[in-house]
Each structure stands twice: as structure tokens, then as C-alpha cells.
Structure 1
Amino acid sequence: MSCFRLIIFALFSFCNVNISIKLENESEDDRNQVRSIMNRLRAQEEGKHPSSTYNKIKSLIKQSQDITADSEDLFEGDIILSLPQAQKLISNVEKKRNKRQILVDPSLKWNKTIPFEIVDEDARGLAEDSITVIEGMTCLTFTKRTDEEDYIRFVHISGCFSAVGKVGGGQPISMGNGCSLGAAVHEVLHALGLWHEQARTDRDKFVNILYQNIQENRKDNFIKRESDESDNDGERYDYGSLMHYGPGSFTVGGDTLEAVDKRYQHTIGQRSDISFKDTKLINMRYCKDVCPTPLPCKYGGYTDPNDCSQCRCPDGLAGTLCEDVKESTFPDCGKGEWAATENPKVLWIPDTRDAGDCIYRIRAPEGLHVKLELQEQQFECYTTCSSYVEVKYLNDKSTTGFRMCCDEAKGYNIASQNNEMIVIVHHEQESKRFQTKLVYYHVDKHIPSGIEDHSQEEKAEQSEEEKPGSSGVETENE
């Protein structure tokens, strides 16, 4: 027996534990058909992007170390496919049709009141907290089940997983050991109909899949959805979605997902908070008929289904119609509105260990663009930023901006697509360092990508700067 086969035998004999998962109302024959389809998908994707012998060994080692997520019944790591969903998926893949984020099939949509039961006491805390989050941001309510046939069952099984949409019967959402609140909300959003963000049909414009770093037989977890399987409701791709994979998902080493715009690399994979676009998709799907007269909300906001007299606003914005910059929560941030002129101005956010947000809207005259340089920052660098400077430079201010927390961000020059830019400086309580220096001014040329080669840029001499300790005050340089 070859050394490679011995390694495989040893790993599967002593390390691999497989969890059997099925939906309540499906037969064993249906589940076996789903497994067969998933095996076909794995084989097809592995055939398109074959693993090297080295990666096959690393894949087995990696999977043996992560037995909590090891189940042949889970698609994309945390989704239980129903038989119709699996059949639709394999049909679309095999037909090679041109490859949208919430389920289109109306039969998979819940009513506004969703019955549930908590089966395992160990799942209670996360179940109740995730329900509180969803109810606070949507028109949906969750009620304890009486005799409803279709309902959600919160269970405590190894790992975190859910079905996508209403699939019938008592469908499980697992909140096992290691599930955070963000992961729990992620699973509830699956049950409400959201697929993973990187599975969108247009994802190749925004992320690259690095197949050479993906575990063997896990490449099917990166298949795109068809337009008849899901719907983005016309919303732009959201790197900050709670539904987005992290850079190292299913890796044997190195990133498996790479943002096309590299500045978003440390934004993807966050599990800290539900994004504005996540809740907007749910509200557009379930709550459009709640408010009879929609408000003329600005910046991509929409009428709040929980308060029809108020818009629900993108991060960093506030006011009845989202016309105002949101008030900062961090002490000594200074004012929220700044005017960009032709002379560079410096904005310091001083060293602190407190938690909070400084939020700014920088405006240039109509027809001009705001240009921003991050010249100094002292955040903790993580694969996915927890404390960061977030810059919303796109025309669409409802989309999560790119978040900077690592050294490569220093010297970035960012130009807004229109005459406004939103900057959010976010600091988590546990972060050890926090200091930021921003320089901004206006420019008259439009830069479609928002990216410039700052190494070729002639730097403005700054004879006068505001020093740390006097935060939120701008100074013009001579």
C-alpha cells in the first residue's frame, strides 16, 4: 500500500467523524438522492479544478481537525438542501446556463409570523438573541409553535447550519458549540431565504476563487446560484454582508477568496453585525406592504417597516429621510460634517482604548470629488477587521465600505465617485491600539475605480497639522 493511501486510511480510520443530518419531513430515499446529487457536484467541481497530491493530504488533515463541520449532508458548510433545491442546482450546473441572493420560489417564503420551538436548552441563548436581532430590524415576528406544521426547530448539534427558505415541516437550525451570535443570525437569515453572498451570479466581478487553496472535494461549496434560484432585488454586491464567506473558508493554506478590489479583503467574512443590505433584502422580500406610503428616503434608505414615519438608513447616516450624518458615539470625535477644499486638511482621531464610532461626511462642491488619504493608523491587523476605518466612496452609500486595519492601507489614496464620502472609524472594546490620521481635499477628475497609484502622487507639503489629543479638528496646510 502506498504511503499516500496509508495516510488516507489512517486519517479516515482515526480522525473522521461524519454527522448525518436530514429534514424532518423528508424520507430516507429523498435524503439519499440529495447526497447522491451533492456527490455529483463535488466530483464535477473537483474535475474542473483538480487538487494536487499535496493538497489532497493537507485536505484530509484539515478536515480531520474540524470534525464539527464534517457532514456529507451540508452544502457550502452550513446549508441543508431539500431535494427540489438539490435537483435545481445540479440541473443548472449540468446545463451550464448563464449563472441573483434571496430565494425566488414563493413557496419557500414564510409568513410574517414564524413559529418556532427550542428543542435543546443549550441552543436557547443564541436562538433568543438571534430572534431579537431579526425582529428589531424587520417586520417579522417569531412566536412559540403550537400545532403549526411548518416551523423552525432550534437544536444543539455539532456545528452551525440551516436550510435555505421554508422547506416544510420542522426544519432545524443548529446552534452548536462554537457558534457566535453573528453565526446564529447568519443561519436564521438562511432560513428566511438568503444564500451566501459569494454565491451570487455576478460574484466574479467582485471576488476571485483561489481553487488551488481549497480542500479536496469542497470546491462545490463555491458554486454560483442561477437567476431562477435566488434574487438580489437589484442590490449591489456587499463585501460586508453577514452572509459572505471569510477569506480562508475551506482552505488547505492561504486564502480561498480574494476581493477583486484588494481594499475589501479585510472586510469579507465579518460575523460582528448584520449588514444594512442583509436586512434590506429581508424587508424588501417580506415587508413591502407594511407601509402604504413609502418615504422618499435618500442614500439607498427605505421606509422602516417598524416605523412608517421614518426611513431605515445605511450605516453612517440618520434623520427622517437619511439626510443627516449619524451622530458619533465615541467621545471627542468633533463635528460630523466636513468640507473638502483644494487645500489638504488633516483629521486626527487620537489614541484611545474606549469603544465607539467616529462618523464623518466629507463633501466637495458639486461636480468635484473627495480625495482621502489614510496616512496613519494603529489598529490591530486581523484577517477580517474588527476595529477599522471604513470608507464609503461609491455613489451607493448603502453598501458596506472597505475597511482598513492593516499596514498596507497606509498611504491609500481614495477618490469618491460623486462629491461625497462617508468615513466611519470603528473601535472595538477589546482592541489595544487606536489612532488615525486622515488627509482630505477635493479633486476635479473622476476616477471610476476609486483607486490611484499613490506612489506616483505628488504629496502636498503639510506645514501645519493637528496633533493627537485634539481630535475632530481640521487644519488647512499652507
Structure 2
Amino acid sequence: MRFRTKIQLGVIAHEVAHALGFWHEQSRPDRDLWVQVQWDNIDRDSKGQFLKEQPSDVDNSGVPYDYGSIMHYRSKAFAKLDDLFTIGTFIVDYQRTIGQRDQLSFNDIRLMNDIYCRQVCPKQLPCQRGGYTDPRHCERCRCPDGFTGAVCEQVMPGYGAECGGRIEVGQSWTEISSPNYPGEFREGQECSWLLVAPVGQRVQLQFFGEFEMYCKVRHSLCMDYVEVRNSTDFANTGMRYCCYGTPTSPVHSATNDLLVLFRSFYRGGRGFQAKAKAINPSRNGQWSEWGDWTECSATCGGCGLKRRSRKCFNEINNTKINNDENGQNNNGNEDDELICLGVDTETQVCAREPCPGLCSKPISEEGECQGLLSLLKGIRCTKTKNNTRRMSPNLLFWICIE
């Protein structure tokens, strides 16, 4: 049998992940904390594709929502008109991150290994930068994109070009750019920069000059990109910038370091240029009181999440500094570029009580869920003497992802 249609490898990986028990990322019970579904823009017969799954059927194993997951729909999936968005990211600069079909994300593989290979290695290594002990090679860590080394202690060297590395930034601007800028970079080149400010300070990154990275405008999706990871966990996929037009808003790190990834998978182009420096958190910045917790995304089963946030204010004139989870602010005032120290959002696991019905049990410290997941893991239900149900492991297979 011969097939004439060329299928993208990432599409195959997406379907294999379904066979391993993975739902679409935007079907997670906690998705409303991260994206907004535009129901009015969805084709009438496709709205069922955007329903959330029951918490009892989902095991996230503590892995956060992943905009870069291969299981995430793109921005305009199932739109009734080509130019309508059906999914909007609450942090705007993540909009072109969602929907990629190039490869499994780091957190995709991390979740697969946690579910199917949790007990393979006899001990856990002290992995850095969000890495974890590799179940196929227990003597080393599996590292997020941009890092390498036995415990992810090194920045990944450039591929196809002499570029990247660890750069310490100070009060003066330090410039980085894609290979051969302002000339064109070549397809297949990769660079990784770890920008580090002194302890207690933050990194500010600002793009400037001409900007060109290949994208699919129709789908609002980056193909080649420069990615910025500015959160407290470099395992999380960052904000991806592509297409034409230089991003204008500065990016601030949540800690004293920031990761920049340049990846060219498809074609060459002009690329990007950016500058970075260390900034002091605002001495006048003052956090408001924490807001109320959001409603838990689940009612039972231990897989729910709730979130609360606070705002950064200028202590002198009580004006709000518009910094969100992005670490960005757009007030246009130079003084407002200094931001409060600390995070403005907290997330907690909630609804730890067992769900009623078959195969329910109190949530464990590992955070396992109940329901359909028990079938995927090969877990069977048995009756104890007091006629209550408990879970007993009967693992049918191991699948360790390379």
C-alpha cells in the first residue's frame, strides 16, 4: 500500500500521544486560567472539540499548562471564518506559541515519562533548570531546550553557527542577534543565550532593528522563531516571536536570568536583533494584597487548580504598573519599567477529595487522579473487607520516551 500524502512528523506524534492517553492541552480542566475559548467564532459543528475533560480523567502529574504542547490547538482551529481566532492566550505574546506540530515539547515528554516511567530509576538526580532524571539513562538528566550537561548545568552550544552561551548583563546594554545579522541566517541554525543579571536584579530584553522570522500568517503560528523564557521554570515553553515587524514591548525576567532561544527549522531570513541589561526592581513598587482564589477547576480527584493574583503599584503616586505573568509592562513611562520583586500569580492544587464511584480513592502525595486514567495505567479495582474500593497497581507496560 502506498500513500501519496506527506504527513508531518509532528502530526503523527500528536496522534500517538492520543493513543497513550493524552487529551488536547486546551481540554485540561484548568485551561480557563490560561486561554479563553471564543465560542462565537467556532464552526457550529465543531464546538464539541473545545469541551474540557473531567478532572477524574486527567493526570497532569504537576506539569503546568503548556502553550507549546504538541497537543494544543492552534489559534484559529475550527474557525467558521479563516480570520477568526477560536483560542486566545491571556498573555498575548504566547499567541503564536500555541498549535505547533514540529515536535513533542519538553513538558509533553516529561509528562509521558512521569506517567509511564516514574519508578524506572532507583534515585533522582539533582537536575537543574527544570530538568529531570532520564528514565532511559538514569545516570544523567533530561534537560529543557537550551541546556545540556549531566545535571543541565550548561547552556547548549550553537548549532550550525558560533552563537549563544551564558552572558552576564549589567547596567549597560548588551546586544545579541541571529547568525549573520543583518544578513540572512540559514535554515537549521540554532542559538541559545542565558542572560544573567546580578542577584537581586532582573533582566530586561528589548528587540530593535529589522525583524523577520518565517511564520504561517493564516494560522498565526511560528515556524521559525526566537523564543523568550522569562518565568521561574525554564522547562515551560516561552513566548515565541516571528513573522514581520519588530516586537515593541520590553520583556522582563521573573528572576535574575532569562533564556533566549533562536530556532530555524524551515528557511532562512533576516532574523532578529535584541539588547539586554540588568535593572533594579522598583524601590517605589509595592504589591497590593493578594486577590481571592479563583474557583477550583475541579470538584474532586486531586487534579484541580486555583489561582490568585496581586498588582504592582507605585508607592508614591499609587499608580498601577502594568506587569503581568509576562513580567511586561506597557504604560509607556520609563519609570514604570522598574517592576516589583516577586511573582504576581500563585497557583495551588485543590479538590483533593476522592471522586465518588468506581475506582475512587483519596489523593496520594504524588497527585494521581482517578477515572479513565486507571485504565490507561493498567490499574484495576478490588474490594477490601469493608467493601470500599481501593486501587491496586497492575502496570501492563513501560513506555520511556527518548
The size of the alignment, in residue pairs, is 286
| Identical positions, percent | 34
Is 1:347 the equivalent of 2:176? yes
- Ranges of 4+ aligned residues in structure 1 off by more than 3 Å: 176-179, 406-409, 454-460
- Once residues 279 and 192 of structure 2 are traced to their aligned partners in structure 1, the CA distance between those partners, rounded to angstroms, is 22
The equivalent residue for 1:418 is 255
Q: 2:224 aligns with which of 379, 383, 387?
A: 387
1:191-234 per-position Cα deviation (integer Å, ceiling 9, x unaligned): 11111000111111111111111011311111111210101111
Matched, 1:189 2:17: yes
1:330, 1:240 → 2: CA distance? 24
Partner of 1:360: 193
For residue 375 of structure 1, what is the amino acid of its counterpart? F
Q: Does 1:406 align with 2:214?
A: no
Structure having the larger proportion of residues in helix: 1
1:227 to 2:55 alignment:
yes
Task: Say if 2:91 is the partner of 1:261.
Answer: yes
1:307-333 per-position Cα deviation (integer Å, ceiling 9, x unaligned): 111100011111110111111113132
- The answer as to 2:212 corresponding to 1:378 is yes
| SS at structure 1 position matched to 2:109 | helix
Instruction: Give the equivalent residue in structure 2 for 1:475.
Output: none
The answer on 1:313 being equivalent to 2:143 is yes
CA distance in 2, matches of 1:122, 1:184: 17
Shifted more, 284-293 versus 409-418: the winner is 409-418
- Aligned CA distance change for structure 1 residues 249 and 288 (closer, same or farther; 3 Å): same
Cα deviation per residue 1:387-427 (whole Å; 9 max; x = unaligned)? 11100000011011110013465222111111111100111
Give, in angstroms, the shift of residue 455 of structure 1.
3.5
Please state how far the C-alpha of 1:428 moved relative to its aligned partner.
Answer: 2.4
Q: Residue 26 of structure 2: which of 189, 195, 198 is its match? A: 198
State the 1:356 CA deviation.
1.2
**1:455 corresponds to which letter in structure 2?**
G
Instruction: Give structure 2 stretches of 5+ with no counterpart.
Output: 283-322, 338-402
Change (3 A) 1:273 1:266: same
Aligned equivalent of 1:299:
129
Q: Secondary structure at the match of 2:190?
A: strand
Cα shift at 1:454? 6.4
- Tell me the TM-score normalised to structure 1 length: 0.57
Q: CA deviation at 1:190?
A: 0.7
User: Deviations for 1:13-41, whole angstroms, at most 9, x for unmatched residues?
Assistant: xxxxxxxxxxxxxxxxxxxxxxxxxxxxx
Deviation at 1:348, TM superposition (A): 2.8
Residue of 184, 191, 202 corresponding to 1:369:
202
Whether contact under 8 Å (1:417, 1:448) holds in the other structure is: no
**Shift of the alpha carbon at 1:122?**
4.2
Q: Secondary structure at the match of 1:188?
A: helix
1:430 offset after TM fit, Å?
Answer: 2.3
Which residue identity does 1:411 align to in structure 2? T
Amino acid across the alignment from 1:341: G
8 Å CA contact retained: 2:79, 2:86: yes
Give the corresponding residue for 1:244.
72
Q: Distance in 2 between matches of 1:182 and 1:313?
A: 20
Which digits, 9 at most, give the CA deviation of each residue in 1:250-274, with x for residues without a partner?
A: 1112111111111011110000111
Taking the aligned partners of 2:54 and 2:239, their CA distance within structure 1 comes to: 27
| Change beyond 3 A, Cα 1:352–1:454 | farther
Alpha-carbon distance, 1:448 to partner: 4.9
* Paired AA for residue 229 in structure 2: K
Aligned-pair RMSD on alpha carbons? 2.1
Aligned letter for 2:252? A
How many Å apart are 1:380 and its aligned residue? 2.7
Q: Which has the larger radius of gyration?
A: 1
Within 5 Å, give how 1:169-184 maps onto structure 2. 177=5, 179-184=7-12
Which residue, 138, 154, 167 being the options, matches 1:338? 167
AA aligned opposite 1:392: R
Given that 1:412 and 1:454 are in contact with CA atoms closer than 8 Å, whether structure 2 keeps it comes out as: no
CA contact (8 A) 1:353 1:429 kept: no
DSSP 3-state at the match of 1:371? strand
Letter paired with 2:103: D
**1:151-185: CA deviations, max 9, x gaps?**
xxxxxxxxxxxxxxxxxxxxxxxxx9463211111
Query: Is residue 185–residue 271 contact of structure 2 (8 Å, CA) maintained in 1?
Result: no
One-letter amino acid matched to 1:439: K
Contact 2:75 2:98 in 1 (8 A): yes
The unaligned stretches of length 5 or more in structure 1 are 1-120, 124-175, 461-478
Classify 1:347/1:454 alpha carbon distance in 2 versus 1 (closer, same or farther; 3 Å).
farther
Distance 1:448 1:269 in 2: 23
Alignment partners' CA distance in 1, 2:246 and 2:99: 18
- Cα distance in 2 between the residues matched to 1:366 and 1:453: 25
> Where do residues 93-104 of structure 1 align in structure 2 (5 Å cutoff)?
none
CA distance in 2, matches of 1:294, 1:364: 30
Aligned-partner residue type, residue 359 of structure 1: S
